[in-house]
Amino acid sequence: MALGLEYAGKRVLVVGGARAARRILARYLAVGATVHHVPEPSPVTGAVAPVAPIATAMPGVLSPVFPRSIGSWGALIAAVDLVVVVEASPQLDAVIAAACARHRTWLTRESAASTSPIGSVTLVGGGPGLEKLLTVGALAALNAADIVYYDRLGPTDRLDVWAPGAEHVDVGKAPGHHAIPQRATERMLVASALAGLTVVRLKGGDPFVFGRGGEEVLACRAAGVPVSVISGVTSAIAVPAAAGIPVTHRDISRLFTVISGHAPISDSELTHLIGLDGTIVVLMGIGTLQQLVAGLARLGMRTDMPVAIVERGFAHDQRTTVGRLDTIGALASTAGVRSPAVVVIGEVVALAGHGDDAAADIMREAATLAS
Ligand code: SAH
């Protein structure tokens, strides 16, 4: 499907079995086309049985007058604006192509959805929220999806464009605004795949960075559902970058550690982090921030160590609060910092200056420092 074209009110004829063509049918319906469907044409004659497959008929899709012979395809094709071939024998494809040329009807070919009785699950890392940071693989998986399970951290602004016609299910919130429990999400993924659907689980950042992706993979494997993972751009690196902070920098920091602040970080862990002498990146760290900075100071980190908190990376209201180990706690309270935010502790923070510089500015600054 070529996005950007205006399909509303256009007559579209989709050729191919109901299961194989389900995504295509749903997509053209979603963009307002009048969709006709010719299911399962006979591979030899191109004729189709004049029996509408009631069980698989999709609401809104119209069954056309079924062509009973090769000759009757012409009239059908003359009556529509676009023919989409999903499944057709080479002979039928040639007949359709000739009729389209004769009647100046547009013709496109799209690949069939899987018709195997068991579907699949793809865990897709959606990056930190910016469309540009969705990977080519993520977009391809979304485009092929029958159903997308998403939550608030993944990029969702244009899900209807990235996964047109797919069902979109928010598993971040239930009607009472409570997150759907992890096990329930896993059961939903598995059930959809067992029903034969191509399932995408869209996650914020990378699925394996505090994303519970590993648990979802295990649940699929346990149920015998084919599962794959498309890595995403993690907020641990991209959100600091959006505020102009490189997590490593020659001669300043040669390592970075990403840690979850969901639960308080123990003294022993903090001691090791200080000993590493690199950049510390904390996700889910706002609730435990005061304990973290107090602990680091008590266990010997320099109190003038630069610290940045980047809230809502890539959103229009992204905000960066910069301070030192001994001032950031008070600054964060005054500013009222909230989740989602990435905390960065280390010398690299100083490279950003005091604002949301673009990465290009940082690179220029870095080049000046190095020369
Ligand atoms: N898998 C995700 C992280 C999930 S944990 C990833 O790789 O990015 C959720 C935490 O990620 C949030 O609490 C916050 O610390 C961070 N986070 C994710 N997106 C963010 C964003 N756009 N801005 C700031 N922090 C973000």
Close Cβ partners of 222 (under 8 Å, ≥ 6 residues apart): none
Instruction: Return the exposure string of 240-267: e unless at least 16 CB atoms fall within 10 Å of the residue's CB, then b.
Output: bbbbbbbbebeebbeebbbbebeeebee
State the first-to-last Cα distance of the chain, in angstroms, to the nearest integer: 51
Tell me, yes or no, if 132 is annotated catalytic.
Answer: no
The angle, 0 to 180 degrees and rounded to 10, between the axes of the packed helices 289-298 and 328-335 is 170
The angle, 0 to 180 degrees and rounded to 10, between the axes of the packed helices 213-222 and 182-194 is 40
Given this model, what pLDDT does residue 57 score? Answer: 58
**Is the per-residue pLDDT at 4 higher than 80?**
no
Is the distance from the beta carbon of residue 340 to the nearest atom of ligand 1 less than 6 Å? yes
**Quick check: do 11-109 and 120-233 share a fold?**
no
Weakest mean pLDDT among 74-78, 129-133, 231-235, 257-261 = 74-78
The alpha-carbon radius of gyration of the chain (Å, integer) is 27
**Is the per-residue pLDDT at 242 higher than 80?**
yes
Tell me, yes or no, if 188 is annotated catalytic.
Answer: no
Decide: 79 and 67 in contact? Cβ < 8 Å. Answer: no
Distance CA 276, CA 258 (A): 12
Q: Ligand 1 center to residue 341 CA distance, Å?
A: 7
Weakest mean pLDDT among 185-199, 313-327, 351-365 = 351-365
- Domain borders along the chain are 11-109, 120-233, 237-354
Tell me, yes or no, if 173 is annotated catalytic.
Answer: yes
Among 132, 151, 342, name the best residue to mutate to test ligand 1's pocket (greatest count of ligand atoms within 8 A of Cβ).
342
Q: Collapsing DSSP states into helix, strand and coil, what is residue 38?
A: strand
Task: Among 2.60.40.420, 3.40.50.720, 3.40.50.300, 3.40.1010.10, name the CATH number for the domain at 120-233.
Answer: 3.40.1010.10
The residue whose CA is least distant from atom 21 of ligand 1 is 313
Is the distance from the beta carbon of residue 234 to the nearest atom of ligand 1 less than 6 Å? yes
**pLDDT, tens digit, 9 for 90 and up, residues 41-83:** 555 455 554 433 333 456 777 766 556 566 678 888 999 999 9
Is the distance from the beta carbon of residue 283 to the nearest atom of ligand 1 less than 6 Å? yes
**Is the per-residue pLDDT at 263 higher than 90?**
yes
Distance CA 40, CA 88 (A): 8
Average pLDDT over residues 3-20: 87
Q: Ligand 1 center to residue 95 CA distance, Å?
A: 53
Given this model, what pLDDT does residue 53 score? Answer: 38
Weakest mean pLDDT among 18-32, 244-258, 264-278 = 18-32
**pLDDT, tens digit, 9 for 90 and up, residues 144-173:** 999 999 988 888 989 999 998 899 999 986
pTM of the shown model: 0.81
CATH of domain 237-354: 3.30.950.10
Q: Which two tokens stand for residue 209?
A: 């960075």
**Is the per-residue pLDDT at 11 higher than 80?**
yes
Closest atom, ligand 1, to C-alpha of 213 = 1
Region for residue 86 given its phi and psi (left: phi exceeds 0; alpha: psi -120 to 50; beta: otherwise): alpha
Q: Chain-wide mean pLDDT for the chain?
A: 87
Q: Quick one: pLDDT band at residue 101, thresholds 50, 70, 90?
A: very high
DSSP letter string, 199-261: EEEEESB-TTSSS-HHHHHHHHHHTT--EEEE----HHHHHHHHTT--S-BTTTBS-EEEEE-
Domain 11-109 - what CATH class?
alpha beta
Average pLDDT over residues 272-300: 97
Q: Quick one: pLDDT band at residue 363, thresholds 50, 70, 90?
A: very low
Given this model, what pLDDT does residue 66 score? Answer: 57
Close Cβ partners of 88 (under 8 Å, ≥ 6 residues apart): 15, 16, 41, 46, 96
Sheet holding 256-260, edge to edge: 256-260, 279-283, 341-345, 306-311, 319-324
Decide: 274 and 255 in contact? Cβ < 8 Å. Answer: no
